[in-house]
Amino acid sequence: MDSARHDVIVIGGGPSGSTAATLLAQKGYRVLLLEKERFPRFCIGESLMPETYWPLRRLGLLPKLRASHFPRKYSVQFVSASGRESQPFYFFQTNPHESSVTWQVLRAEFDLLLVENAAEHGVEVRQETLVTEVLFEGGRACGVRMSGKGGGEEVADARVIIDATGRSALLARRLDLRRPDPHLKKAAVFAHYENAVRDTGIDEGATLVLYTRDNLGWFWYIPLPRNVVSVGVVSSPSTLFEGRPGDPASVLEAEVELCPAVCARLAPARRISPVHVLSDFSFRTRRWAGNGWVLIGDSFGFLDPIYSSGVLLALKSGEFAADSVDEAIQAADLSADRLGAFGPKLSAGIEAIRKLVYAFYTPTFSFGQFVKKHPDQRKNLVDILVGDVFKEEVHGIFELMGQYCDLPKPLE
Ligand SMILES: Cc1cc2nc3c(=O)[nH]c(=O)nc-3n(C[C@H](O)[C@H](O)[C@H](O)COP(=O)(O)OP(=O)(O)OC[C@H]3O[C@@H](n4cnc5c(N)ncnc54)[C@H](O)[C@@H]3O)c2cc1C
């Protein structure tokens, strides 16, 4: 199969796929990226974590982001069910570096920027091309079957196939590798609003996390360009949907009513998008690589969105996978072990964030009280919250935290 026209085929042009494709093209590989939609397209996931700075720098995208109209995100602020506001949590207070300020992005524009960057680096990008099947030969992935806008089927071969298809997880579903996270069965209902109340100064771009009545759920409130705010509620499907009219707009309106702090902020606002619903999104895969293939981004696994970790994990997994694939091709060893060598490091980082997600959903646990009792753990906590999770030290916090809440074991 060394006669393959492409070295690598990447399926999916979201942040994970564009990152892997760009970095492999930078290394001189012939890369084909296949995306079923025509960009720009809507995607949820608008708030970045500060640590996205480093992969974005490696992609050469910082100048474009600095010049963009995306609001700067300096902090996160929590608002209790009674409306009490915490102090904004400014990332630069623990690390006064440019990387501590990040962006709230319109994903349609952000993802377009990434995919155009891939094309500028020599990736062959084909949009409106749906991959219907990954092809195997002797147990090794060797190509894909796809259909373009005109509907005709086509086959392309490559030495390595990277599945970056997001939560649709083409290969993981086909190979039955997905395991849901049993304690994170949540749903989200969300929309864009114009003319909602925004804070001012450096707080204008802050992410707000606001609890609903009885702490049964929480809202994100993410300021975007053009006076738009992204608003969404996350809770159990039964809380959101049982005993309510079926249409998503009514569900969102009812939840807004249950959260006075969001209600006040939306009073002057007008909804300018359809209301979207997503449910049961947290899962992991039993394997992330096989002979000739790897999974990255959401198709590798997806975590509850409370800490806005999805795009960071997409960018980092694209980066890690590009390096592993490069080393595997150099060594002429396209086995699962070699291609998936990045997996344990990525999984360890995801587990750190996952434990913090479990702590967040433990009603008796308070991060404020934990840090008061254990001030020496503040740095580890902050490191996880900004996404600096791919290092051994951060895991030191969990022995202590486990005394206050049930933390999960890695999914088997
Ligand atoms: C409710 C909710 C809120 C979130 N909020 C945040 C947030 O605030 N911050 C954050 O960082 N993350 C957030 N996320 C997570 C974020 O959306 C994802 O983690 C991120 O988009 C993952 O990137 P990706 O490249 O893996 O997948 P995606 O961005 O989903 O990209 C996958 C791409 O693959 C394409 N594709 C799929 N199947 C095929 C196929 N068969 N053939 C060709 N192309 C295909 C799709 O069209 C898509 O463009 C949120 C997620 C949810 C559900």
Q: Which atom of ligand 1 is nearest to the CA of 132?
A: 41
Rg over alpha carbons for the chain, rounded to the nearest Å, is 21
Mean per-residue pLDDT, 161-165: 98
In this model, does residue 2 exceed pLDDT 60? no
Judge whether 231 and 196 are in contact, CB under 8 Å: yes
pLDDT in tens, 87-145: 888 999 888 999 999 999 999 999 999 999 999 999 999 999 999 999 999 999 999 99
Pocket (CB within 6 angstroms of ligand 1): 11-17, 34-37, 43-48, 130-131, 164-166, 168, 170, 188, 232, 278, 281, 297-298, 305, 308, 310-312, 314
In one letter, which amino acid is 178? Answer: R
Ligand 1 centroid, distance to 107 Cα (angstroms): 9
SS3 category, 53: helix
- Mutate which of 19, 32, 43, 304 for ligand 1 pocket (most atoms within 8 A of beta carbon): 43
Alpha helices, H only, 183-234 = none
pLDDT in tens, 219-246: 999 999 999 999 999 999 999 999 887 7
Ligand 1 centroid, distance to 13 Cα (angstroms): 9
Judge whether 286 and 301 are in contact, CB under 8 Å: no
Nearest CA to ligand 1 atom 18: 310
Q: Which residue, among 250, 239, 245, has the nearest Cα to 213 in the 3D structure?
A: 239
Ligand 1 centroid, distance to 311 Cα (angstroms): 8
List the structure tokens of 359. Answer: 């702590």
Q: Which atom of ligand 1 is nearest to the CA of 146?
A: 42
Q: Which atom of ligand 1 is nearest to the CA of 302?
A: 19
CATH, range 72-96+186-279: 3.30.9.100
Residue with tokens 């308070």: 366
Q: Where are the domains of the chain?
A: 6-67+105-180+282-341, 72-96+186-279, 349-401
Nearest CA to ligand 1 atom 19: 310
Nearest CA to ligand 1 atom 14: 45
Burial (Cβ within 10 Å: 0-12, 13-18, ≥19) of residue 369: exposed
Nearest CA to ligand 1 atom 45: 12
Q: Which atom of ligand 1 is nearest to the CA of 300?
A: 26
pLDDT in tens, 49-68: 999 999 999 999 999 999 99
Q: Output DSSP code: residue 370.
A: H
Q: Which atom of ligand 1 is nearest to the CA of 298?
A: 26
Ligand 1 centroid, distance to 109 Cα (angstroms): 14
pLDDT in tens, 341-351: 999 999 999 99
Fold of 6-67+105-180+282-341: FAD/NAD(P)-binding domain (3.50.50)
pTM of the model: 0.97
Q: Which atom of ligand 1 is nearest to the CA of 39?
A: 49
Query: Residue 211: its pLDDT value, please?
Result: 93
Nearest CA to ligand 1 atom 29: 14
CA angle (305 as vertex; 133, 112 as ends), nearest 5: 55
Query: Residue 3: its pLDDT value, please?
Result: 58
Burial (Cβ within 10 Å: 0-12, 13-18, ≥19) of residue 335: middle
In one letter, which amino acid is 160? Answer: V
Judge whether 285 and 165 are in contact, CB under 8 Å: no
Q: Report CA-CA distances (Å) from 107 to 43, 48, 209, 311.
A: 6, 10, 20, 10
Q: Give me the half-sphere count of Cα atoms (radius 13 Å) on the Cβ side of residue 134.
A: 30
Query: Residue 273: its pLDDT value, please?
Result: 97
Ligand 1 centroid, distance to 339 Cα (angstroms): 22
Listed range (38-47, 76-85, 110-119, 257-266) with the worst mean pLDDT: 76-85
Ligand 1 centroid, distance to 201 Cα (angstroms): 30
Ligand 1 centroid, distance to 296 Cα (angstroms): 11
Ligand 1 centroid, distance to 18 Cα (angstroms): 12
Residue with tokens 């092809």: 135
Query: Residue 280: its pLDDT value, please?
Result: 81
- Mutate which of 35, 252, 303 for ligand 1 pocket (most atoms within 8 A of beta carbon): 35
- Mutate which of 49, 147, 154, 311 for ligand 1 pocket (most atoms within 8 A of beta carbon): 311
List the structure tokens of 405. Answer: 């809440």
In this model, does residue 308 exceed pLDDT 60? yes
pLDDT band at 1 (very low <50, low <70, confident <90, very high): very low
pLDDT in tens, 341-386: 999 999 999 999 999 999 999 989 988 889 999 999 988 998 999 9
Q: Which atom of ligand 1 is nearest to the CA of 310?
A: 19
Query: Residue 373: its pLDDT value, please?
Result: 95
Judge whether 111 and 13 are in contact, CB under 8 Å: yes
Interatomic CA distance for residues 62 and 246, integer angstroms: 43
Ligand 1 centroid, distance to 168 Cα (angstroms): 9
